[in-house]
Amino acid sequence: MPQEHTRAIPPKRESGERRSKQDTKSAPHVFFRRIDRSVSRFIDPLGNLLVDMFHYGALFAIGAATVWAALQEFILIFEKSHASVEDLLLLFIYLEIGAMVGIYFRTNRMPVRFLVYVAITALTRLLIGEAGKHGVDHMDMMWIAISTLLLALALLILRFGSFRYPSPPSDHESKLK
């Protein structure tokens, strides 16, 4: 005679007992897990879209502000009819920021070296400005020079590290090639 398969009803638990795995499967949290998955299918792409929109909007704003500031500097240079070394170095800073924004836009990677270039150029501009003043505190100039040297050493370490331990290309970089 064949045996009938019936589902066993779990016995009632005492207040301190734990649920078995079988009891857990039928618990209400399975329902919420399903809802979470279906909501995540909608929310995750929407969140990624909003982050990308902010990302590109911020990059555009930074790029536009850089171009605007560089144009303002050009106008000031033309108004005074000559360019000082400080003015040219400021234009190089704008150029480096623009290049950094462009690289970040294309690869989604922040080129840290460009930040160091900007800092070195800014310190060089400051050093030239300090040297042009009368009654200069020579210790201030020494500290600026030491700071520039430390940044140059940091740049050397960054270059060595990127040569010795290159990062793998991102999906975005492979699409560009």
Checking if the pLDDT of 77 tops 70, the result is yes
**Considering the domain boundaries, does residue 87 fall inside one?**
yes
**Considering the domain boundaries, does residue 11 fall inside one?**
no
| Structural domain boundaries, residue 60 | 27-166
**Considering the domain boundaries, does residue 16 fall inside one?**
no
Global confidence as pTM: 0.64
Between the alpha carbon of residue 55 and those of residues 46, 51, 105, the distances in Å are: 14, 6, 9
**Considering the domain boundaries, does residue 4 fall inside one?**
no
Query: Could you give the maximum distance between any two Cα atoms of the chain, in Å?
Result: 112
**Considering the domain boundaries, does residue 18 fall inside one?**
no
**Considering the domain boundaries, does residue 9 fall inside one?**
no
Q: Give the residue-averaged pLDDT of 132-136.
A: 75
Q: How many domains does the chain have?
A: 1
**Considering the domain boundaries, does residue 14 fall inside one?**
no
**Considering the domain boundaries, does residue 58 fall inside one?**
yes
Q: For residue 57, what pLDDT is reported? A: 93
